[in-house]
Homo-oligomer: A and B are copies of this chain.
């Protein structure tokens, strides 16, 4: 996967963590990124760079996932990141020596963590109101929307890293306009959509039956990625009463490869919307800020880019720590590498909708692309690219890209 072109996302204010390989570093292993360079962390560790970081296992950067590192206390993540920043600020890339550094376009990126459970919430008031109106014709949010973050459990084995192709799913759905049983067809989805999402990766695990307040939940966040919750709207619409989405969403979920740390986002903390006053104590939002992050979706069609959405993370009604605290209210645990996603990040205005369901009013209003074609939903060979920057374009702290190309369904079922 070519991953150049995002040098301005990876200043020394960022210093994310990911899993990479190259011709020289053939085994996938822990890395960070500075500008257009990828730095392999075990190479730094073996030269003693992190010797002052108390509690860091000597082999922690040799694994093919970040789970062993992510499960450590946040103070260790901070110390590793600060050490890298200090060396870079004092000597630039040369300070890392002649080993362990590769150009970003020479590396392959992998899933950064092994994920046990993936939970996807639906925290955008604009999205739930838009989607509800388009699908059911009714105004308003779901009954429990203002009481807690509403969510569902996704399929962990379908999580893929940015750059992985996604095949158009098949399934059963009501043909457009059909209202009778006879209108149900089985075949490739004709309403394939993206969903622009933000997601937390769990670091420190939580045993079952422990529960958390939203304030305490922050300690369990290793970092953040962008997430595309690909959705087949036709399959989803037919299946989701009463148990929610399954096959409409379980065929692929793409995440960006670099995990951006809470430390990197600290300067961009801000407040979300004012919440209903009857939020239970463990979900109280005080001291659980969100971040000022601008998100963007573009569709590449015939090699031409069209920006289809620009939205803002802090418009979400619930914060990520609130989602995590709600998730464990019943007594379930958290494992390192678990993913907790926000749901589609949409605003109310035109151009801020994080999925085509909203953008095209359920396929009724085609979207004009810059190559002269139109879309209701995604076509085969379309590439969807999601990006995000914290605190504006010149902040130096971005997420790189979360990209995927749609392949045609294979002919045989």
Central interface residue in A117, A119, A170, by most chain B CB within 10 Å = A117
Instruction: Tell me the minimal C-beta distance from A329 to chain B in angstroms.
Output: 5
Task: Tell whether, in the assembled complex, residue B167 and residue A209 are in contact, meaning their CB atoms are under 8 Å apart.
Answer: yes
Q: How far is the CA of A327 from the CA of B247 in the complex (A)?
A: 7
Q: Which of B169, B184, B244, B326 contacts A245 (CB 8 A)?
A: B244
Q: What chain B residues lie within 8 Å of A278 (beta carbons)?
A: 181-182, 184
**A158-B329 CB under 8 A given contacts A238-B143, A280-B186:** no
Q: How many copies does the complex hold?
A: 2
User: What are 20 sample pairs from A and B whose C-beta atoms fall under 8 A apart?
Assistant: A116-B157, A117-B155, A119-B155, A143-B241, A144-B172, A144-B184, A144-B241, A147-B238, A153-B154, A157-B334, A157-B338, A170-B211, A170-B331, A172-B280, A181-B278, A208-B251, A213-B413, A240-B243, A247-B330, A250-B332
Task: Tell whether, in the assembled complex, residue B158 and residue A332 are in contact, meaning their CB atoms are under 8 Å apart.
Answer: yes
A221-250: CB near B (< 8 Å → 1, else 0) gives 000000000001001001111111111101
Instruction: Tell me the minimal C-beta distance from A375 to chain B in angstroms.
Output: 21
Task: Tell whether, in the assembled complex, residue A153 and residue B250 are in contact, meaning their CB atoms are under 8 Å apart.
Answer: yes
**What is the interface residue range for chain A against chain B?**
35 or more
Task: Tell whether, in the assembled complex, residue A211 and residue B330 are in contact, meaning their CB atoms are under 8 Å apart.
Answer: no
Q: Which of B144, B334, B338 contacts A239 (CB 8 A)?
A: B144
* CB under 8 Å from chain B, chain A span 300-354: 326-327, 329-335, 338
Residues of A within 8 A of B (CB): 116-117, 119, 122, 132, 142-144, 146-148, 150-158, 167, 169-172, 181-182, 184, 186, 208-209, 211, 213, 232, 235, 238-248, 250-252, 278, 280-282, 326-327, 329-335, 338, 410, 412-413
Q: What chain B residues lie within 8 Å of A156 (beta carbons)?
A: 116-117, 156
Task: Tell whether, in the assembled complex, residue A332 and residue B238 are in contact, meaning their CB atoms are under 8 Å apart.
Answer: no
Q: How far is the CA of A45 from the CA of B146 in the complex (A)?
A: 58
Residue of B nearest to A128 (CB): B242
Q: What chain B residues lie within 8 Å of A148 (beta carbons)?
A: 172, 239
Q: How far is the CA of A412 from the CA of B238 in the complex (A)?
A: 41
Task: Tell whether, in the assembled complex, residue A329 and residue B152 are in contact, meaning their CB atoms are under 8 Å apart.
Answer: no
Q: What chain B residues lie within 8 Å of A232 (beta carbons)?
A: 330
Residue of B nearest to A238 (CB): B144
Central interface residue in A148, A239, A246, by most chain B CB within 10 Å = A246
**A152-B244 CB under 8 A given contacts A143-B238, A170-B211:** yes
Task: Tell whether, in the assembled complex, residue B251 and residue A332 are in contact, meaning their CB atoms are under 8 Å apart.
Answer: yes
Q: What chain B residues lie within 8 Å of A142 (beta carbons)?
A: 241-243
Task: Tell whether, in the assembled complex, residue A326 and residue B247 are in contact, meaning their CB atoms are under 8 Å apart.
Answer: yes
Central interface residue in A155, A232, A278, by most chain B CB within 10 Å = A155
Q: What chain B residues lie within 8 Å of A335 (beta carbons)?
A: 157
Residue of B nearest to A186 (CB): B280
Q: What chain B residues lie within 8 Å of A235 (beta carbons)?
A: 330
Q: What chain B residues lie within 8 Å of A155 (beta carbons)?
A: 117, 119, 153, 332
Q: How far is the CA of A151 from the CA of B246 in the complex (A)?
A: 7
Q: Which of B151, B282, B331, B338 contacts A167 (CB 8 A)?
A: B331
Q: What chain B residues lie within 8 Å of A247 (beta carbons)?
A: 326-327, 329-330, 332
Q: What chain B residues lie within 8 Å of A116 (beta carbons)?
A: 116, 156-157
Q: What chain B residues lie within 8 Å of A209 (beta carbons)?
A: 167, 410
Q: Which of B182, B330, B334 contacts A171 (CB 8 A)?
A: B330
Q: How far is the CA of A280 from the CA of B247 in the complex (A)?
A: 15
Instruction: Tell me the minimal C-beta distance from A58 to chain B in angstroms.
Output: 26
Instruction: Tell me the minimal C-beta distance from A183 to chain B in angstroms.
Output: 11
Central interface residue in A153, A156, A326, by most chain B CB within 10 Å = A153
Task: Tell whether, in the assembled complex, residue A152 and residue B150 are in contact, meaning their CB atoms are under 8 Å apart.
Answer: no
